[in-house]
Amino acid sequence: MASGLTLAAVGLIATPLDQGLDTVAAGAQALSPTVNTEGAPFAGTPAVGALFSTTSDGGIGQHFCSASVVESPARDLLITAAHCTGGGGSMVFIPGYDNGRMPYGIWQVTRVIVSQGWVSSADPDDDVAFLVVTGPGGAKIQDVTGGERLGIGQPAGQIVNVVGYPETVNTPIRCDNYVRGFSPTQLVFDCGGYTDGTSGGPLLENVNPSTGLGTVIGVIGGYEQGGDTPSVSYSVRFGAFVAELYKTATGQS
């Protein structure tokens, strides 16, 4: 689904997070490096959350995709799949959402950054988007949740932790397994339970047990918009395209 949005100039050096870590540590849960074959429910992690539609009267609708906070100079940036941005309506991000709990608040998506390749042809190799969010009183989401590092050019073959929000439940799932190369431009990950709604969820390596933060090297999406079966998920490889899109999102190009 092409979103109809064009690139907007707004940037690549992700600065180290030095604020909000006490908040993050309080909400993070240790993420096991053990290899699994099925996504398991858990209580959530601060920098990963669900995207919700909004209703005509300003209320919150249904969650439909997943996203995560990434480090950025303005401390206001999410990463998700581009196919999650094509609904046409407004949306909000709720980090750490768990069965109605919203421990880190509700954040309005104010800007969507996708590539021209996605706009023109919904190219699976362009299925990545950055979202700018705003909070009450100009609050910065990265100060509240922390941010994942953006991993460009990371190799396949390592264990990643994948978090997502299936549409049919109100609790996130996570799974640790090896990410493999599927093609020169795509990665593949095998773990059951990743149904509709988990699109945009991050593939995280080197997760810190005390903060829940890691390095995001992919998001569920790409080939088959992330996969036609719950047990096989895909992601665009993060290379020069994602680096340039990040620069656009943060005003560095």
pTM of the model as a whole: 0.86
β pairing state of 149-150 and 215-219: parallel
Q: What is the pLDDT of residues 189-210, one digit of tens each?
A: 999 999 999 999 999 999 999 9
What residues contact residue 57 under an 8 Å CB cut-off, 6+ apart? none
pLDDT score of 93 more than 50: yes
Distance between CA atoms of 111 and 130, rounded to whole angstroms? Answer: 8
The total number of structural domains that make up the chain:
1
Is 13 among the domain residues? no
Mean pLDDT, range 18-36, rounded to an integer: 46
Alpha carbon distances (Å) from 122 to 66, 117, 156, 175, 214 = 19, 7, 24, 28, 28
Separate counts of helices (H) and strands (E) for the chain: 4, 14
Nearest in space to 222 (alpha carbons), one of 174, 187, 177, 179: 187
Question: Residue 27: inside a domain, yes or no?
Answer: no
Task: Give the per-residue pLDDT at 33.
Answer: 57
Q: Please, what is the end-to-end C-alpha distance for the chain in angstroms?
A: 26
Q: For residue 71, what are its two tokens?
A: 């480090």
- DSSP class per residue in 205-230: ES--TTT---EEEEEB-SGGGG-SBT
pLDDT band at 6; cut points 50, 70, 90: very low
Q: Is residue 7 part of a domain?
A: no
Q: How confident is the model at residue 35 (pLDDT cuts 50, 70, 90)?
A: confident
Cα separation, 60 vs 160, in Å, equals 31
Asked if residue 212 is part of any domain, the answer here is: yes
**What range defines the domain where residue 152 resides?**
40-249
Residue 13: pLDDT over 80: no
For residue 170, the domain's CATH number is 2.40.10.10
